[in-house]
Amino acid sequence: MRLIVRMRSIPAALAGLSALVLMPVSSLLPSPAAAMVGDAPPASASIARHVVMIVGSHGTSCTGTLISQSVVLTAAHCVQPGSDYKLVRFDAARNPTLLPVATIARHPGFEMAALLGHRATADVALLKAESPLPASFAPAPLARRTEIAVGDAFTVAGMGVAVRGDGRSGGTVRAASLVATGQPGSLQLRLVDAATKGEQPGRGACTGDSGAPAFAEEDGRLAVAGVVSWSTGPKLTAGCGGLTGVTPLSRYRSWIAEAAQKLGTRLAP
């Protein structure tokens, strides 16, 4: 199992942020992103508008989902104590702007030791931006579903690398259609490329895609059913392109709603 937070190089789109390493909010250059290894295409505008990049002062990069105009849902392991975090907005020319984060709320049940030990944990967190995000972003609703069966379809959209180890392949929201495999439950969900079944390299989450949304279709629209926590390579090897591990939101939906309310915001209906 591979946690998919850190990236080691900076793609051209973020090269302009290098000066920030010398500032108090430093090192917000974690490499970044493109998302979904394999041949996953850029996400449609209707998907990409829900997705935002999160960078940390210790050289990390993750993905999050806007669930209100100022609150982002991500993985708890993406926002650890002792680091500063910013959201990244790209303009039409792919120039980045850093957006300050006012507050971070991590689920109290999250245990890093459990995640590193390949055990399920409450890997969910919220970030409250200092100001509402621009109108080019739109909140996504949380899924209502509580049961998942093998073969159920999900769309995972992230801003991690498209080529493992190549930070320059990042910065673009890409989407992969994956299906549930194994023994889906409310604690952990394993997704796989239906074409490769995890036996050969296929589409899936990679470095920088931690916290990315796993969308399910409900009432003709996409709703967030889980967040990406880890990945494997084919045949359970280390890397990407095999399994995409997701923390389902069914157990944590109430906490997310209550935490968002404490942050002074309402969730997308």
pLDDT bucket at 94, cuts 50 / 70 / 90:
confident
CATH fold, domain 1-269, is Thrombin, subunit H (2.40.10)
Among 3, 37, 61, 46, smallest CA distance to 176 is for 37
C-alpha distances out from residue 130 to 72, 80, 102, Å: 12, 19, 5
What is the 8-class DSSP label of residue 130? S
Structure confidence at residue 91 as a pLDDT band (50, 70, 90): confident
- pLDDT cut 90: percent of the chain above it: 69
| pLDDT attached to residue 12 | 35
pLDDT of residue 171: 73
What are the strands, taking DSSP E only, across 198-269? Answer: 213-218, 221-231, 243-248
What whole-number percentage of the chain has pLDDT above 70?
Answer: 84
Per-residue model confidence as pLDDT tens digits over 44-54? 999 999 999 99
Q: What is the pLDDT of residues 209-248, one digit of tens each?
A: 999 999 999 989 999 999 999 999 999 998 899 999 999 9
Instruction: Say how far apart CA 233 and CA 240 lie, in whole Å.
Output: 4
Indicate the domain borders of the chain.
1-269
Minimum mean pLDDT range among 16-30, 50-64, 85-99, 143-157:
16-30
Convert the pLDDT of each residue in 125-156 to its tens digit.
Answer: 999 999 999 999 999 999 998 899 999 999 99
pLDDT at 117: 87
> For 149-182, what is each residue's pLDDT tens digit?
999 999 999 998 877 776 666 678 999 999 999 9
In the prediction, which pLDDT does 172 show?
86
pTM confidence score: 0.86
Task: Give the pLDDT confidence of 178-208 residue by residue, as tens digits.
Answer: 999 999 999 999 999 999 999 999 999 999 9
**Sorting pLDDT into bands at 50, 70 and 90, what band is 4?**
low
127-145: b (≥16 Cβ within 10 Å) or e? bbbeeebeeebebbbbbee
Which of 19-23, 68-72, 204-208 has the highest average model confidence (pLDDT)? 68-72
